[in-house]
């Protein structure tokens, strides 16, 4: 068998009882984070546009729309929730890219099919593990060609196949269908379209799994064949199929940081090391805005490729602008929603002035490309001549209490403290829930 069929066989034959406790615990953190981020993101402009369109369809009410007052079909619920979790740029992300496109169909299918909390955990973890494995096997080629978003389709397809109850042949065929439609360009960052990068994988995956169950599937060797997924996006010569399939069921580094991290700041992930460094310097040296001459961030081509708006014209540009992100940190001693959402923030005269203090320098000594990772050391030059430098690497991860605190912070404007605590208690005890409907009902207003 090839890698596609090997991964499909592993996917359908592995269950909740095969998962290590630390992986289950991490899955719960990502689930609670997804729901909280999606509820907050459901109020964003792009989510409201999508939600209103889907609601107007009056489709069959199968699965919950987080932050909405309605249900819709399983595929459309996954589509809307995938939009909302990305809408404020606070989605979980890491070396295996985004977990949101895997989580969105996982929640919708678990609810529609009346599955248990254990089945949700297993479907999400195993689907996302398949994605991480494909990423690990194609990282060099993908990085060289500039692709990232197509890989989000892999986890969505695998999780949907698992939670639809497909056999190995059907799962491979469903994955083949979804990956035949995979795309996603880096150049869309900073546009409203960028926030749909999770939506289409989630939608297509639910439908593809349903079709595969009825015998309609794509190429079951889609990862392996010439002119297939790996060949197109990475090149077969740069694909390591052994890496994809080694230690199946033993290595779950996909889900454990740095495989996947939970964002602390609502902006592009490649800015987070710089923000971590700057926050540490501000706190350690009690840095005030008026005392700063300039702040310099050294970086590589990969970071500049993502943070492509030195002079942002919209809030969406601002989330992908190192000068804006660091300027908001300088003025507010941190980065949060108040300067990453809302019309006009990027063009506020105070922030335009603050951005003039930020210097972003392409350091020729730093390796370029996704496979090289990225470096973003921060230097703060004070008006009195003092100079402070810090380089946080890797990104500082939230501990368990930090994950729950972030959840509470996101939900405080929308839910009572009792409801927020109830949601936490349910996810903490998810393996004992026969159905997840009571959990999702908290987030449907």
Give yes or no: residues 204 and 121 share one domain: yes
Does 20 share its domain with 148? yes
Residues 134 and 178 both lie in one domain: yes
Does residue 188 share a domain with residue 292?
Answer: no
* DSSP reduced 3-state for 245: helix
Q: Are both 22 and 65 inside the same structural domain?
A: yes
Number of domains making up the chain: 2
Residues 148 and 40 in one domain: yes
Q: Check residue 184 and give its pLDDT.
A: 72
For residue 68, is it within any domain?
Answer: yes
Same domain, 208 and 64: yes
Residues 11 and 61 in one domain: yes
* 307 and 258 within one domain: no
d(CA 285, CA 254): 36
pLDDT at 410 (0 to 100): 97
Report the pLDDT value the prediction gives residue 372, as an integer from 0 to 100. Answer: 61
**Quick one: pLDDT at residue 353?**
96
Q: Is 166 inside a domain boundary?
A: yes
Q: Are 54 and 76 in contact (CB under 8 A)?
A: yes
Compute mean pLDDT per 10 residues along the chain, 445 residues long, and list them.
Answer: 96 98 98 98 96 97 97 98 96 89 98 98 98 92 75 96 98 97 74 85 97 97 96 94 96 92 95 97 98 97 89 91 97 93 82 96 83 85 98 95 98 97 98 98 91
289 with 170, same domain? no
Domain span at residue 171 reads 3-262+409-441
- Pair (130, 208) in one structural domain: yes
Q: DSSP per residue over 248-310, as a string? A: TTT--TTTSTTSSB--SSSS-GGGHHHHHHHHHHHHHHT--GGGEEEEEEEE-HHHHHHS--S
Q: Are residues 93 and 109 in the same domain?
A: yes
Token code pair at residue 14: 């592995």
The enclosing domain of 45 has a CATH number of: 1.10.4100.10
Taking the CA of residue 17 as centre, how many other CA atoms within 13 Å lie in the half-sphere pointing to its CB? 1
Note whether residue 210 is domain-resident. yes
Angstrom distance (rounded) from CA 104 to CA 82: 5
Reading the block at residue 305, the tokens are 């490729």
88 in a structural domain: yes
Q: Is residue 396 part of a domain?
A: no
Is 404 within a domain?
Answer: no
398 part of a folded domain: no
């Amino acid at each position: 068998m090839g890698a596609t069929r090997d991964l499909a066989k592993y996917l359908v034959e592995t269950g909740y009882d095969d998962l290590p406790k630390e992986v289950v615990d991490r899955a719960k953190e990502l689930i609670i984070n997804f729901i909280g981020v999606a509820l907050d993101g459901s109020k964003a402009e792009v989510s409201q546009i999508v939600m209103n369109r889907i609601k107007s369809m009056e489709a069959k009410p199968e699965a919950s729309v987080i932050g909405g007052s309605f249900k819709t079909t399983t595929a459309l619920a996954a589509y809307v929730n995938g939009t909302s979790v990305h809408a404020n740029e606070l989605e979980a992300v890491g070396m295996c890219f985004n977990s949101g496109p895997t989580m969105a169909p996982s929640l919708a299918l678990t609810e529609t099919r009346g599955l248990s909390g254990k089945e949700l955990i297993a479907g999400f973890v195993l689907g996302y593990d398949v994605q991480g494995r494909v990423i690990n096997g194609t990282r060099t080629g993908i990085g060289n060609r500039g692709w990232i978003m197509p890989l989000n389709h892999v986890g969505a397809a695998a999780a949907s196949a698992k939670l639809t109850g497909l056999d190995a042949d059907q799962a491979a065929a469903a994955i083949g269908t979804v990956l035949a439609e995979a795309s996603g360009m880096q150049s869309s960052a900073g546009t409203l379209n960028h926030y749909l990068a999770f939506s289409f994988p989630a939608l297509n995956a639910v439908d593809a799994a349903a079709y595969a169950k009825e015998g309609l599937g794509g190429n079951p060797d889609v990862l392996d064949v010439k002119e297939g997924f790996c060949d197109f996006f990475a090149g077969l010569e740069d694909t390591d199929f052994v890496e994809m399939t080694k230690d199946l069921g033993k290595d779950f580094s996909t889900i454990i940081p740095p495989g996947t991290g939970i964002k602390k700041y609502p902006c592009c992930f490649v800015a987070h090391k710089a923000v971590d460094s700057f926050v540490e310097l501000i706190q350690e040296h009690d840095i005030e805005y008026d005392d700063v001459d300039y702040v310099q961030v050294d970086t590589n081509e990969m970071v500049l490729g993502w943070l492509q708006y030195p002079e942002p014209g919209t809030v969406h540009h601002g989330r992908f602008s190192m000068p804006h992100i660091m300027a908001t940190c300088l003025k507010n001693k941190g980065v949060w929603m108040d300067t990453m959402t809302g019309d006009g923030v990027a063009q506020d005269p105070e922030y335009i002035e603050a951005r003039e203090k930020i210097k972003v320098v392409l350091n020729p000594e730093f390796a370029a490309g996704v496979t090289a990772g990225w470096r973003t050391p921060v230097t703060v030059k004070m008006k009195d001549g003092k100079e402070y430098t810090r380089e946080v690497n890797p990104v500082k991860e939230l501990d368990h209490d930090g994950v729950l605190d972030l959840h509470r912070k996101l939900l405080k404007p929308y839910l009572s403290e009792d409801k927020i605590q109830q949601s936490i208690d349910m996810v903490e005890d998810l393996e004992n829930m026969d159905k997840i409907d009571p959990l999702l009902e908290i987030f449907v207003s």
